[in-house]
């Protein structure tokens, strides 16, 4: 099975520069860029407008099942997924979502004959305060597949937020200084998914923790 993982003999301790590079290049293969188009007709002007959204996602199995943020792919006209080689792009469709989770699973429509994709595993382990984590993705100002390192703060956000016009309860980890891209994965030092980026403010990125991601994935397999 093409499982992307990193053998970290140091556990959750900080990685050296070389180990960080190795982890990045290993986990990049299970990370994707997601581009969405929203086609809408402007009735009074008699023309069609195409809006775009860009975000990230993470591959969960070798057949191309991808976890991402629902707000990224909700009510779009088309979804395309680009692999880490930045030359291979596939069309994808939504196969599962739960509105009040702000999570979605999309599936690559058709892989090339016999192709299997690198994928990552979700870890339900609660992040320790100060634990080093890796984010892979991009902001709008950068090409895809830049990475940033940060340190998990405590579980700082417990309350409600508006997700697709519904007030829902949510929890999120806090990552000071991390580069933000909706739907992009956050990995621990062994290459397991410990959060999915969901929001940001001027100083911090928030991400849904691995336990919530695993609950969602198990509901899909249900």
Q: Which of 108, 135, 164 is the last residue of a domain?
A: 108
In the listed set 108, 130, 160, which residue is the last one of a domain according to the structure? 108
For residue 202, what pLDDT is reported? 63
Does residue 4 lie within any of the structural domains? no
Q: pLDDT value at position 171?
A: 63
Q: Show the beta-strand stretches assigned E in the chain.
A: 31-42, 47-59, 65-69, 78-82, 89-98, 103-108, 132-137, 146-151, 155-163, 166-176, 185-187, 193-200, 204-209
Final residue in a domain of this structure, among 60, 85, 108: 108
Is 173 part of a structural domain of the chain?
yes
137, 184 Cβ separation under 8 angstroms: yes
List per-residue pLDDT tens for the chain, 222 residues long: 476 666 655 554 567 888 888 888 888 899 999 999 999 877 767 788 889 999 999 999 999 999 999 989 999 999 999 998 888 999 999 999 987 888 999 999 988 777 889 999 999 988 877 788 888 875 544 455 566 767 776 544 545 555 555 555 556 677 776 777 889 998 988 899 999 988 776 677 788 889 999 999 999 997
Domain count, the chain: 2
Domain of residue 78: give its range: 31-108
Q: Which pLDDT score, from 0 to 100, does residue 19 have?
A: 83
Q: Do both 97 and 153 map to the same domain?
A: no
């Amino acid at each position: 099975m093409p499982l992307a993982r990193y053998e970290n003999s140091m556990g959750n301790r900080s990685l050296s520069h070389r180990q960080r590079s190795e982890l990045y290049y290993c986990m990049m293969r299970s990370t994707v860029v997601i581009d969405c188009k929203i086609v809408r007709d402007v009735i009074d002007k008699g023309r069609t407008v195409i809006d775009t959204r860009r975000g990230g996602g993470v591959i969960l199995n070798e057949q191309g099942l991808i976890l991402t943020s629902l707000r990224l792919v909700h009510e779009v006209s088309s979804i395309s997924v680009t692999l880490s080689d930045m030359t291979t792009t596939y069309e994808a469709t939504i196969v599962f979502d739960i509105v009040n989770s702000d999570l979605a699973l999309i599936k690559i429509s058709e892989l090339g004959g016999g192709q299997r994709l690198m994928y990552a595993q979700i870890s339900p382990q609660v992040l320790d305060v100060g634990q080093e984590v890796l984010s892979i993705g991009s902001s709008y100002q950068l090409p895809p597949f830049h990475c940033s390192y940060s340190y998990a703060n405590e579980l700082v956000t417990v309350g409600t937020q508006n997700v697709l016009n519904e007030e829902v309860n949510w929890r999120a980890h806090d990552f000071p200084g991390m580069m933000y891209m909706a739907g992009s994965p956050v990995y621990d030092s062994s290459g397991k998914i410990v959060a999915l980026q969901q929001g940001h403010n001027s100083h911090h990125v928030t991400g849904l923790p691995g336990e919530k991601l695993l609950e969602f994935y198990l509901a899909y397999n249900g």
